[in-house]
Amino acid sequence: MNKYENATAFFHACEGLQGWNGCSKYVANGAKFTAQCEPLVEIETVEQYCEWMSGLGKGPLAGCSYSIDTSSFDNETATALFFGTFTGQHSSDGGPVPPTGKTTNSQYVYALKMNDDGLVEQMTKIWNASWALNELGWV
């Protein structure tokens, strides 16, 4: 599998709420995670992020979905970019407030740096979390 195919498979596994069990085969050991948004400041590894995403989508935002708006791969930097839209409704327990019934359509970008073995070694999520949280009625 080439680097872009592996990055794409990881993206779908992560957004498809497969958690670490479904994502680990696409990720290098100890892969780092970064994001400049409040809900994710304490997440430092790709493994932690995969589990957070799975918990969110199987808990307060059960039934959520995503779409890829566009994607690309830069061979020089071995970096895949995925621009997507996440759609979720807070209709289940487990959020910071009781279910609001409100929906978010939140845009985001994954930047996935791939290593020589074609595995994710660094992930950055670019996301306007405050917008999504406001739409959900969580702030």
User: Which of the four pLDDT bands, split at 50, 70 and 90, describes residue 126?
Assistant: very high
59: amino acid identity, one letter: G
- pTM for the whole thing? 0.96
pLDDT per residue as tens digits for the range 4-47: 999 999 999 999 999 999 999 999 999 999 999 999 999 999 99
For residue 72, what are the domain limits? 3-92+101-136
d(CA 87, CA 108) in angstroms, rounded, equals 11
pLDDT at 34: 98
Q: How many residues does the structure list for the chain?
A: 139
Residue 42 DSSP SS3: coil
d(CA 20, CA 120) in angstroms, rounded, equals 13
What phi-psi label fits residue 76: left (phi over 0), alpha (psi between -120 and 50 degrees) or beta? alpha
121: amino acid identity, one letter: E
Strand order in the sheet with 120-127: 27-35, 120-127, 103-114, 79-89, 65-74
Structural domain count, the chain: 1
pLDDT at 94: 86
Residue 31 DSSP SS3: strand
* Statement: residue 1 has pLDDT above 80: no
pLDDT per residue as tens digits for the range 73-124: 999 999 999 999 999 999 999 889 999 999 999 999 999 999 999 999 999 9
46: CATH: 3.10.450.50
User: What CA dihedral angle connects 75, 79, 27 and 54, to 10 degrees?
Assistant: -140
